[in-house]
């Protein structure tokens, strides 16, 4: 969807967002437990499930319910009536691990991950 791409440029090219190159405005990963997050197994069952979620959907938004930028991303798709799958990481017991897997896949652990 070309309309979608132009409206979502802020999700894919953060360097041009409001003329700033700060990533601080996206919702960071906040571990539920104190201490370092264990390394993730990119060949493990959960990583394979994440890869399948992504390949099965046209658009998948990894989100957190309290994140205003996640809500903005979902509103863009709602506005153009484009179907997407939202995975709410803060509502899942394995949400932190999924977010770490996405970090390995994309190089960033902030949400939204579209």
pTM attached to this predicted model: 0.69
Structure tokens at 7: 């409206």
Backbone angles phi, psi at 61, to 5 degrees: -115, 115
Domains belonging to the chain, first-starting first, are: 25-106 (3.40.30.10)
Residue the block writes with tokens 């370092």: 36
Q: What is the pLDDT of residues 32-44, one digit of tens each?
A: 554 346 788 999 9
Which tokens is 51 given? 């890869």
Distance CA 106, CA 12 (A): 11
* 83-108 residue pLDDT tens: 999 999 999 999 999 999 999 999 99
Pairing of strands 85-88, 60-63: parallel
pLDDT one-digit tens code per residue, 41-64? 999 999 999 999 999 989 999 999
Helix axes 45-56, 95-106, angle to 10 degrees: 70
Contact (Cβ atoms closer than 8 angstroms) between residue 95 and residue 89: yes
């Amino acid at each position: 969807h070309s309309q979608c791409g132009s409206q979502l440029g802020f999700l894919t090219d953060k360097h041009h967002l409001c003329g700033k190159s700060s990533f601080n405005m996206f919702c960071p990963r906040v571990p539920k437990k104190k201490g370092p997050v264990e390394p993730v197994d990119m060949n493990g069952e959960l990583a394979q499930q994440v890869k399948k979620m992504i390949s099965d959907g046209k658009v998948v938004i990894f989100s957190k319910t309290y994140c205003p930028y996640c809500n903005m991303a979902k509103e863009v798709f709602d506005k153009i009536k484009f179907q997407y799958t939202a995975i709410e990481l803060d509502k899942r017991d394995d949400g932190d691990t999924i977010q770490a897997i996405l970090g390995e896949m994309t190089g960033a652990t902030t949400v939204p991950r579209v």
